[in-house]
Structure 1
């Protein structure tokens, strides 16, 4: 087996990945020990069976030469051996299953927790389908291949070593023949494995690509159908699917080739043992019973190699998947809070932005030398063309991204000296894109305040003008929402607005918060927002300029810079960019 590991080293048996996987089994050492002991006992009893059968054969050879009393004793020992072998086999299987599933559970928890630690930059720059594939499919492949495969590898090694010991105890010369021919089986398996790994790695990459593409198409079916993109999407799918077929076929071919090749070599081993053993029996150097036992051992000795070669397929896929999973775990997490960072539980709403610079791409700047002072309770509206940096500014206020230089202060405290959790807790945020999770209406509204009473939830829903349609749902506030919920986009947005109204944060961020709501409801919501914004610093990103007339300060942004600022009337008088933008929305034909 040392030869096998050396041959399979490098790509196939990546020791770093193997060590990381095995590190997850440390909490379950007692199960490993029990499985190890059970495996040894099980295999020892299994290997004892051919000797008992061989002795039984020796007691019945020859006319009128059957020793029934000795034969009965052997049958009793054989029965006991089989029963206890099965028992310890059950114990071993139970322990290996516990190790496997608990280890995979811990690994999946670590990956999910890691996703919560990663910066939004990683989530935004990677295919969501690929990430989902890593959390679900890749970890399942690790479970099926690596952990369960290694349990077979483990028992196979013990079987090989145990069989050799028993064969050597019967006849050293014949046992040496088996040992001499064995490397041929190992060499063929390892040679094929090298080709196999490359194909499984490519198969894993293309599978992830296919998962991401399917996720994109399913998640945007309305757009696909609206632009009659069905045929082209099928063509793209088939192109990726062909690549998956190509690599999958080659991977399976090479892995499937391993088993018959090793079986052929093992057949040579069995034939050699049969011929040499028969000659030894004829010469009187070996009893018929021992020859029978030796042939059984030769067969048992070769079986683990066949099983191990069969496991290679799963191990190859598992290593490729494990590599992808650990890439997620090795990603740089979001910059940790300073050890001296404080929890700012409340704020008067003072925000200072000084010489702020930020860019998503180092080669292309977006926001440069941005300065803004916001007094408590002020309403700041941010307008401008697409790509000017409106949403980026909101992302920086919420610390979803780290600024390149400059500073943002809340209550005259640099946000770098405030924990991220408490910084984000100071803002109530309503986005253009709604998000509701699988749960009741009440749970969704109380997402930011889990201890909220039903009365508080209803009050918030009424303020958001959502109470009326909620009561028309099958179970009112206890109605369970899911992906196929029949809520309109506007109704979903009302629930998101109610969520913020319930939490009553010291500051608000409204990023196109009423974009999916009809004009009549929007008027009511604006009144509710006006009430909610009283005494609260608010940042409003809007394309509908009619919704920001009452803002204390309107920032007109272009190319990451403030080009105009003032209230609605002042900006109209300037007759500049804002005035043109406003007039273009309300121009009469």
Structure 2
């Protein structure tokens, strides 16, 4: 079963009923023209008018019948589309909440936005409009052609000649459209990501005098998108223009009149009345096919996202204590190349352990496994003696908290942002956490205090967002804490406030710190040195400097 058919399965019955109504409407739409053609033909044959009133009745009844069937078709498909969009968005949202958190680090927000908004929207055009138009484009010409074939086979063939030419030219214009559509979606996603990157970071790049370079990246993405669209348009426009001309009623009428002069003028009358409109439904077929292909591509993207393996969450185990253990841990992002090779490490409750090492040594990967952003591919990570894979995810994050450099501030109130890890926390506890994070006074100064909606009524600086994240972790009060050095990209004043807040945060917790600057972790209980996915040294700052190994050389370079 194709991805599109699988996604449409829940609304298939209503969709087929709508297409059936549309087919009936297409036939009813041709009935008045056939009736008029028959009236003319029979009057020329000498049939008395009294015998032709049934044809008049057919024409009069067909018009309201067509209108009623069109309303029924549109209603059925739009309700089907509404239910499909709702169910798909719920399904996507449910699936996204079950994906490993590490998946989001590897995929930009444009990928998720495209699936939940753009791709589901593309299915709207397919379900509610394109399939109806395609039904009309197929049924109306077939019904008309069937009637004309009973009158004169030669003129019937003449009638379909321009249609065949037009469809052949359209097929030529649409060759490789599936691959082009994929390229178009990729170009659109790249442009969307460039826009988000440009506008999200405009304050920072301007502050550091890099606005020109950031603007160039944005304009280059826009130019690549424009060049692709322009090139595609240039390649299809000539064939598409001639296709539209060949399918136009004027072209069909011209061919029929010429044939009538050469063959039989009287016999041509029904063909002129009915056949001239034969091509009208086909004029919209190109757009309908494009919407159909866009819907197919969107369905493929949605199916691909839904097929992304979820993080298993079937555990019933409990946690006994806050000891964090890495037992012979191995890990690979792609299933082939290992980035961690047999990591053995134990973090005792109430201690602070710092991970140091060059870029790519495995620091962030170890921290990600401790928070179960991914599952290990070998060995085990245990919390309180229990394998993380045996813990329900909700329970895990009541024991493990984290403060990352890239803070996510939700478009909701300050209080709700802080309650993210502990919904329903009393306001007094929220205020206490903010005070401990040295950010309470700043929140009180906002337009509506803790009720201020961030991102709408106010924005936070990088340092303020970091302190919000620390307050969030304090309020969650997890016994295990993972820190990706929160002061790496802030000003000195913010750094001092954050360091004070961190001192309050780590007290009494099992803490794992990813250290980007050695000077910030000289007082921790233990420093673990990593290189190429292996632990090479372990000890206090003084012990490692005295040992004269890799850490001592890094310290000498940093000093």
For Structure 1 versus Structure 2, the TM-score category normalised by the shorter chain is: 0.7 to 0.9
> Deviations along 1:562-585, whole A, 9 cap, x unmatched?
343334555566566556656776
2:440 match: 467
| Number of equivalences | 551
State yes or no: 1:351 paired with 2:319. Answer: no
SS at match of 2:379: strand
State yes or no: 1:301 paired with 2:278. Answer: yes
How far is 1:470 from its partner?
0.9
1:505 match: 478
SS at match of 1:38: helix
Cα 1:362/1:21, change in 2 over 3 Å: closer
2:135 match: 154
2:26 match: 43
- The 5 Å alignment of 1:38-117 reads 38-54=21-37, 78-117=59-98
TM-score (norm 1): 0.79
How far is 1:236 from its partner?
6.0
> Deviations along 1:431-462, whole A, 9 cap, x unmatched?
12211111011110111122223233223222
2:316 match: 342
> Deviations along 1:402-452, whole A, 9 cap, x unmatched?
334232222223333334443344201111221111101111011112222
How far is 1:349 from its partner?
0.9
2:504 match: 528
Contact 2:400 2:482 in 1 (8 A): yes
How far is 1:401 from its partner?
2.7
Cα 1:95/1:50, change in 2 over 3 Å: same
How far is 1:333 from its partner?
1.6
Q: Distance in 2 between matches of 1:440 and 1:351?
A: 34
Query: Given the alignment, which residue of 532, 535, 547 partners 1:562?
Result: 535
2:427 match: 454
> Deviations along 1:340-380, whole A, 9 cap, x unmatched?
x3343x44012222222335577865433321223333332
How far is 1:208 from its partner?
3.3
Q: Unpaired segments of 5 or more residues in structure 1?
A: 1-15
SS at match of 1:24: helix
Aligned-residue RMSD, C-alpha: 4.0
- The 5 Å alignment of 1:130-529 reads 132-144=113-125, 148-168=129-149, 174-175=155-156, 178=159, 183-194=164-175, 196-221=177-202, 222-223=204-205, 226-227=209-210, 228-229=212-213, 232-233=216-217, 234-235=219-220, 237-239=222-224, 241-263=226-248, 266-267=252-253, 270-271=256-257, 274-275=260-261, 278-279=264-265, 281=266, 292-330=269-307, 332-334=308-310, 336-337=312-313, 341-344=315-318, 346-360=319-333, 366-482=339-455, 485-515=458-488, 516=490, 518-522=494-498, 524-529=500-505
Identify which range, 420-429 or 231-240, moves more after superposition.
231-240
Identify which range, 424-433 or 570-579, moves more after superposition.
570-579
How far is 1:246 from its partner?
1.3
Contact 1:203 1:247 in 2 (8 A): no
Contact 2:41 2:269 in 1 (8 A): no
Cα 1:306/1:444, change in 2 over 3 Å: same
TM-score (norm 2): 0.83
SS at match of 1:342: coil
> Deviations along 1:162-187, whole A, 9 cap, x unmatched?
22344356666755664688655544
Contact 2:22 2:136 in 1 (8 A): yes
Q: Distance in 2 between matches of 1:348 and 1:58?
A: 94
2:9 match: 26
Identify which range, 88-97 or 73-82, moves more after superposition.
73-82
> Deviations along 1:282-311, whole A, 9 cap, x unmatched?
xxxx6xxxx655433212322223332453
Cα 1:275/1:576, change in 2 over 3 Å: same
Cα 1:60/1:512, change in 2 over 3 Å: same
Q: Distance in 2 between matches of 1:272 and 1:114?
A: 62
Contact 1:259 1:310 in 2 (8 A): no
Q: Distance in 1 between matches of 2:543 and 2:176?
A: 72
